[in-house]
Amino acid sequence: MLKGQKALVTGANSGIGKATAIALGRAGADVVVNYVAGREDAEKVVAEIASFGVRAAAYEADVSNEEQVVAMLDRMIQEFGTIDILVANAGLQRDAPFTEMTLAQWQKVLDVNLTGQFLCAREATKEFLRRGVVPEVSSAAGKIICMSSVHQLIPWAGHANYASSKGGLQMMMQTLAQELAPKKVRVNAVAPGAVKTPINRSAWETPEAQEDLLRLIPYKRIGDPEDIANAVVGLSSDLMDYVVGTTLYVDGGMTLFPGFATGG
Ligand code: BGC
């Protein structure tokens, strides 16, 4: 489905990024696996992707560092020829009650989750526009998938920095989509709900936590990273060529106000 396309997935050494990089490789794309720490894990992801007969490589870069992002894209263009798909996925949490939240915690989350996506999207877009559409490869000049969250919509006490970063991301994604659509660059977002990854271990690792969490999920299943990866593959492919500026919620219904299933 993505044969001949070159994809970059940030934060691809674990969690949703890892599953997404693998799924893109399985769908035929060559994949750059970005990581900031955890080289060994990134190399394992690369080996798994390479076993599908496509090309893969691990690149270290901090997405919130402009110089490193520019260097990463330069290197990808040199070694892979171009970029067709950017999955701006790298993200983190630094949770704290509001009055205890330090400026450093606020800044770190905004830097990685929002500025990091800005920098990666900007550098990838420069290459999309330089190269333009290559019809044998894709109907679009490039595709950007922003990894958002249900918390671009759902306020989240104790996570003011994280929810703000994702809320900001929604408007960035829509604005880029509007600005770049005439140039044939498709920008969309995937908004996962609760997915079993290291970022939210405390929300699913004990039976009590699981029970609490499942109350927020009408579909009564915690998501797997592959649920998100499959959505990203779909949005990246020409099957979804007319999907522009949309957020695809992949959340088992978490955004359906489950508290209102009874009452109200
Ligand atoms: C957060 C997780 C959380 C999920 C649902 C995600 O964006 O990173 O920690 O479990 O949203 O609340």
| Segment 126-143, tens digit of pLDDT | 999 999 999 999 999 999
Q: Whose CA is nearest to atom 5 of ligand 1?
A: 194
Q: What average pLDDT does range 153-174 have in this prediction?
A: 98
pLDDT at 79: 98
Average pLDDT, whole number, for the chain?
Answer: 98
For residue 202, the CA-to-ligand 1 centroid distance in Å is 11
Is residue 263 very low, low, confident or very high in pLDDT (cuts 50, 70, 90)? confident
35 is catalytic: no
Angle at alpha carbon of residue 35, lines to 34 and 36, rounded to 5°: 135
- Which pTM value belongs to this model? 0.98
For residue 137, the CA-to-ligand 1 centroid distance in Å is 35
Q: Measuring from each residue's beta carbon to the nearest atom of ligand 1, which residues come in under 6 Å?
A: 93, 149-151, 193-194, 199-200, 203
Task: Decide if 263 is inside a domain.
Answer: no
Task: Decide if 1 is inside a domain.
Answer: no
Q: What average pLDDT does range 40-65 have in this prediction?
A: 98
Task: Decide if 114 is inside a domain.
Answer: yes
- Quick check: 6 and 75 in contact, CB under 8 A? no
CATH classification of the domain holding 174: 3.40.50.720
E runs forming strands in 53-196: 56-60, 85-88, 142-147, 185-192
pLDDT at 52: 98
Atom of ligand 1 nearest to the CA of 156: 12
For residues 25-45, b (16+ Cβ closer than 10 Å) or e, as one string?
Answer: bbbbbbbbbbbbeeeebbbeb
- Taking CA atoms, 191 is separated from 62, 203, 221, 255, in Å, by 22, 18, 16, 10
pLDDT 10s digits, 56-91: 999 999 999 999 999 999 999 999 999 999 999 999
Q: Tell me the best of 149, 169, 222 to mutate to test the pocket of ligand 1, counting ligand atoms within 8 Å of each CB and taking the most.
A: 149
Q: Whose CA is nearest to atom 9 of ligand 1?
A: 200
Catalytic residue among 162, 219, 242, 249: 162
**Based on the structure, what is the number of domains in the chain?**
1
Whether the pLDDT of residue 104 is over 90: the answer is yes
Whether the pLDDT of residue 55 is over 90: the answer is yes
Q: Tell me the best of 147, 151, 216, 255 to mutate to test the pocket of ligand 1, counting ligand atoms within 8 Å of each CB and taking the most.
A: 151
Structural domain boundaries, residue 104? 6-251
pLDDT at 90: 98
pLDDT at 218: 97
Task: Decide if 98 is inside a domain.
Answer: yes
Q: Whose CA is nearest to atom 2 of ligand 1?
A: 200
Q: Whose CA is nearest to atom 7 of ligand 1?
A: 149
Task: Decide if 262 is inside a domain.
Answer: no
Q: Tell me the best of 147, 199, 217 to mutate to test the pocket of ligand 1, counting ligand atoms within 8 Å of each CB and taking the most.
A: 199
